[in-house]
């Protein structure tokens, strides 16, 4: 009854308003927790924890409902196309979120820092910090007392020392995992479930290795390089770009882990595996962002 049946319009549902309530708790909890940072006593974090519980709980029930509706063959081909459109536009919105941070990095590197160093016709700001010299990465900030620059940066150390450079291994992990998830998908489409499951396990392992290496890199930055969030604009852009990317890798890895567990429980068929496909698009998306990020944050 797939393509001929009518479009499934779900009955009224309590899930959305619970989700909105969870988001309300999140705003109050996150706002309160962050405002109370450094204070002795604050209970706002309880609100934040509660909001996570509500949000994750609702998502669990919501996705379960969608899966069971799909298993009851309520979804027409047209409705499945809606999911495809929805996921594609969601990824587009994520692209634009990263765009804002790439825009910031580009502006800082092309304009703000050179101007602070006295470049160009608007070089008047050099009057404030005459000693500041424009370089990238900014190791010595204009106001070095309040923003102590790092004493080492993350840039590529040269082609011969590539193996000592963590981002190289990170890139290898992520690019390989993009390939392995494609192999998993094609195995599933051929009906080879054992191969599908193995490639999924390889993919998520590579994802978690990436996250682990990224954590190691952050530890190095804080412990041995003086590179912190407060280290001026280089640390700022470095941590925000890699941090949001890492956060998205975590999300993607969680999605793929859930898909793998579902795969082990016998979910997905050769023609009906949109959850997995969507997770795999998301994974390719974080991979592409990473490649751009390596180029503009680490290499050039």
Partner 1 sequence: MSAVIEGHHDDHHHHGPAKGISRWLFTTNHKDIGSLYLWFSFIMLFIGGAMAMVIRAELFEPGSQIVSPEFYNQMVTNHGLIMVFGVIMPAFVGFANWLVPMQIGAPDMALPRLNNLSFWILPAAFGVLIATFFMEGGAPNFGWTFYAPLSTEYAPPTVTYFIFAVHIMGASSIMGSINVITTILNMRAPGMTLMKMPLFVWTWLITAYLLIAVMPVLAGAVTMMLMDIHFGTSFFKAGGGGDPVLFQHVFWFFGHPEVYIMILPAFGIVSHIIETFSRKPIFGYESMVYAIASIALLSFVVWAHHMFTVGMPIAGELFFMYSTMLIAIPTGVKVFNWLSTMFKGSLTFETPMLFAIAFVALFTIGGLSGIMLAIAPADFQYHDTYFVVAHFHYVLVPGALFSIIAGVYYWLPKWTGYMYDEFMGKTHFWLSFVSVNLTFFPMHFVGLAGMPRRIPDYAMQFADYNMIVSVGAFLFGLSQLLFLYVVLKAIFYGKKATGQVWEGAKGLEWTLDSPPAYHTFETPPNLESGEAKA
Q: Which of residues 221-280 bind partner 1 (CB under 8 A)?
A: 228-230, 232-236, 239-240
Contact 115, 125 (CB under 8 A): yes
The reply to whether 127 sits near partner 1 by the rule CB under 8 A is: no
Q: What is the smallest separation between the CB atom of 253 and partner 1, expressed in angstroms?
A: 21
Query: In terms of C-beta density within 10 A (0-12 exposed, 13-18 middle, 19 or more buried), how is residue 64 classed?
Result: exposed
> Residue 199 or 290: which CB sits closer to partner 1?
290
Q: What is the smallest separation between the CB atom of 88 and partner 1, expressed in angstroms?
A: 9
CA end-to-end span of the chain, whole Å?
55
Q: What does the block give as tokens for 299?
A: 């290499």
Q: Which of 26, 52, 222, 281 binds partner 1 (CB under 8 A)?
A: 26
**Binders of partner 1 in range 140-179 (CB under 8 A):** 141-143, 146-147
Q: What is the smallest separation between the CB atom of 70 and partner 1, expressed in angstroms?
A: 11
Q: Which of 47, 54, 113, 206 binds partner 1 (CB under 8 A)?
A: 113
Contacts of 1 (CB under 8 A, 6+ apart): 73, 76
Q: What is the smallest separation between the CB atom of 137 and partner 1, expressed in angstroms?
A: 10
> Residue 13 or 186: which CB sits closer to partner 1?
13
Q: Which of 56, 60, 92, 247 binds partner 1 (CB under 8 A)?
A: 92
Q: What is the smallest separation between the CB atom of 96 and partner 1, expressed in angstroms?
A: 4
Residue linked to tokens 């705003």 = 27
**Binders of partner 1 in range 31-90 (CB under 8 A):** 31, 34-35, 37, 62, 65, 68-69, 72, 74, 78-79, 81-82, 85-86, 89-90
Q: What is the smallest separation between the CB atom of 230 and partner 1, expressed in angstroms?
A: 3
> Residue 16 or 157: which CB sits closer to partner 1?
16
> Residue 5 or 257: which CB sits closer to partner 1?
5
Contact 235, 228 (CB under 8 A): yes
Q: What is the smallest separation between the CB atom of 197 and partner 1, expressed in angstroms?
A: 30
Q: What is the smallest separation between the CB atom of 73 and partner 1, expressed in angstroms?
A: 10
> Residue 88 or 254: which CB sits closer to partner 1?
88
Interface segment toward partner 1; rule CB under 8 A; list 27-35, 171-179, 195-203, 256-264: 27-35
Interface segment toward partner 1; rule CB under 8 A; list 123-131, 187-195, 203-211, 280-288: 123-131
């Amino acid at each position: 009854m797939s393509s001929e049946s009518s479009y499934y319009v779900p009955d009224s549902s309590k899930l959305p308003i619970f989700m909105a309530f969870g988001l309300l708790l999140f705003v109050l909890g996150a706002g309160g927790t962050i405002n109370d940072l450094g204070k002795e006593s604050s209970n706002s974090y309880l609100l934040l924890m509660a909001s996570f519980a509500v949000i994750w709980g609702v998502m669990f029930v919501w996705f379960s409902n969608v899966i069971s509706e799909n298993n009851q063959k309520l979804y027409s081909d047209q409705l499945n196309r809606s999911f495809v459109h929805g996921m594609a536009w969601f990824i587009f919105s994520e692209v634009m979120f990263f765009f804002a941070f790439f825009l910031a990095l580009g502006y800082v590197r092309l304009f703000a820092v050179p101007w602070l160093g006295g470049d160009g016709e608007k070089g008047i700001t050099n009057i404030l910090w005459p000693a500041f010299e424009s370089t990238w990465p900014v190791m010595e900030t204009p106001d070095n007392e309040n923003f102590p620059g790092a004493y080492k940066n993350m840039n590529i150390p040269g082609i011969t020392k590539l193996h000592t450079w963590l981002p190289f291994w990170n890139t290898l992990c992520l690019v390989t995992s993009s390939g392995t998830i494609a192999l998993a998908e094609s195995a599933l489409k051929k009906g080879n479930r054992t191969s599908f499951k193995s490639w999924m396990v390889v993919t998520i392992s590579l994802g978690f290795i990436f996250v682990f290496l990224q954590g190691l890199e952050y530890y190095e930055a804080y412990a041995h390089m003086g590179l912190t969030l407060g280290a001026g604009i280089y640390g700022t852009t470095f941590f925000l770009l890699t941090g949001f990317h890492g956060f998205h890798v975590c999300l993607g890895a969680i999605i793929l882990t859930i898909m793998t567990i579902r795969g082990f429980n016998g979910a997905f068929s050769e023609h009906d595996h949109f959850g997995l496909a969507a997770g795999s698009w998301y994974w390719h998306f974080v991979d592409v962002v990473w490649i751009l990020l390596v180029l503009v944050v680490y290499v050039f």
